[in-house]
Chains A and B, each alone.
Chain A
């Protein structure tokens, strides 16, 4: 959940930097690798490391590789969404990049909300079962 939240936050920063400063991706990735929580920073740090191969390998391949290597906590579908973002970044006109970032961020936030809901439901179920068991035990003891 934390990774999803942090990734969404990083994508929000990326949107702002691209829109406001037209920041080149290598500088942006370098910046993000030092600004975010560990799990998320791993992804950007790995990406920053792989950027030395840029040109010999396309940006999208480096991004996909970094996502595969470091975002193992994500579900396959979430990882696929992040991976697909790399196909658009840096390559297409800015409005398209911003739209892709925004869609990816919304998907991640939606996933995070769903996961939180599932967690709450599970907790409620556990507490409910525990309370019922306790009550049953109490009745038996009486």
Chain B
């Protein structure tokens, strides 16, 4: 299913029509903010697609459709500020409800629907090097919205099709993009996908139970993820992960990432630069 249509289906009727009438074919995000016109994002720039300002009711409409009016079923991710539906990640902002451990919101003010992409062939030049470096670790680096997840997804598919047994720790269901265990992106014929557990826990579970040759995970963001990466690296299994930064030098500014680099878990970095169709991928050797 076309991801833009999938996202449009969640919008209120008039917004859905406006989006379709504008003939928008590719978008990175759709954003709704109360009191403002809704926007769609292309190459990092936002464009309005309707004159009518959003009301909180519109945001509730999107959330109701996304979770099937079942906030209880997404309470764990909503606690962390997002929910996922069929690979589509919806970031939520507003006023937190202090009751019930603060998982829900009293008021909703912004939603950001991030559309996942499948770009076949973008990893063609990287795959031979990644395959050679499979036992070591590879880190894909770019700023938020830079295309890390899309590249990671394509790398997983190609490496898996190429014969590697890959365990995918897909915490938010964004990599596989499945809904109720069906459909979603093709991650190759030798990929075992674990959805819904934290990356740290998921990686260790994959390692114990699925005997992977490579473990892939999106966005190393906290100490738990780092510890999981260290455990994987110490077990002879390769690791393929992503991190937020503009380059290796910027990574050194963040204590957690500096620790990652110093630990020597990752031997290779793939840095993504540019935006939209102009993305470039450069490889840097981190250690041997």
A interface vs B, CB < 8 Å? 18, 22-27, 51, 54-56, 58-59, 89-91, 93-94, 97
Chain A residue at smallest Cβ distance from B61: A55
| Any A CB within 8 A of the CB of B67 | yes
Q: Ordered nearest first, which 7 A-B pairs have the shortest CB separation?
A: A55-B65, A59-B69, A24-B70, A90-B69, A26-B68, A24-B68, A55-B61
Dominant SS at the B interface? Answer: helix
Q: B75 contacts which chain A residues (CB < 8 A)? A: 22, 93-94
Smallest CB–CB gap between A102 and chain B, Å?
15
B69 touches A54 (CB 8 A): yes
Chain B residues close to A by CB (< 8 Å): 10, 12-13, 61-62, 64-65, 67-73, 75, 99-100, 104, 180
Query: Is there contact, CB below 8 Å, between A55 and B12?
Result: yes
Residues A91 and B71 in contact, CB atoms below 8 Å apart: yes
Task: Give Cα distance in the complex from A90 to B69, angstroms.
Answer: 5
Q: Beyond A24-B70, A26-B70: 18 further Cβ-contacts under 8 Å?
A: A22-B73, A23-B73, A24-B67, A27-B68, A51-B68, A54-B68, A55-B12, A55-B61, A55-B62, A55-B65, A58-B64, A58-B69, A90-B71, A91-B71, A93-B72, A93-B75, A93-B99, A93-B104
Q: Is the CB of B70 within 8 A of A56?
A: no
Query: Given A59-B64, A93-B100, are A24 and B73 neighbors across the interface (CB < 8 Å)?
Result: yes
Q: Is the CB of B61 within 8 A of A25?
A: no
- Assembled-state Cα–Cα distance A75/B87 (Å): 45
What's the minimum C-beta distance from A59 to chain B, rounded to whole angstroms?
A: 4
Tell me which residues across on chain B come within 8 A of A58, comparing CB atoms: 64, 69
Q: Which residues of B contact A55 (CB under 8 A)?
A: 10, 12, 61-62, 64-65
- Quote the shortest CB–CB distance from A95 to chain B (angstroms): 8
Q: Across the interface, which residues of B come within 8 angstroms of A94, CB to CB?
A: 72, 75
CB–CB B104/A25 < 8 A: no
In the assembled complex, the Cα of A97 lies from the Cα of B100 at a distance in Å of 13
Enumerate chain A residues within 8 angstroms of B71, measured Cβ to Cβ.
Answer: 90-91
Q: List 15 A-B contacts (CB under 8 A).
A: A22-B72, A22-B73, A51-B68, A54-B68, A54-B69, A55-B10, A55-B62, A55-B65, A56-B12, A59-B64, A59-B69, A89-B69, A91-B71, A93-B99, A93-B100
Shortest CB-to-CB span from A56 to chain B, Å, is 6
What residues of B have a CB within 8 angstroms of the CB of A91 in the complex? 69, 71
Give the residue name and chain of the A residue nearest to B9 (CB). A55
What is the CA–CA distance of A93 and B68 in the complex, to the nearest angstrom? 15
Q: When chains A and B are docked, how far (Å) is the Cα of A24 from the Cα of B74?
A: 9
Q: How far is the CB of B173 from chain A (nearest CB, A)?
A: 14
B76 — nearest CB in chain A belongs to which residue? A22
In the complex, what residues of B have CB within 8 A of residue A51's CB?
68
User: Using Cβ atoms and an 8 Å threshold, which residues of chain A touch B62?
Assistant: 55
Q: Given the complex, which residues of B lie within 8 Å of A22, measured CB to CB?
A: 72-73, 75
Q: Contact between A25 and B68 (Cβ–Cβ < 8 Å)? A: yes
Neighbouring A residues of B99 by C-beta, 8 Å:
93
Complex Cα–Cα for A93 and B64 (A): 15
Task: Please report the C-alpha to C-alpha distance between residue A34 and residue B104 in the assembled complex, in whole angstroms.
Answer: 32
Interchain CA distance A56-B58 in the complex, whole Å:
9
Alpha-carbon distance between A97 and B12 when the two chains are bound, in angstroms: 27
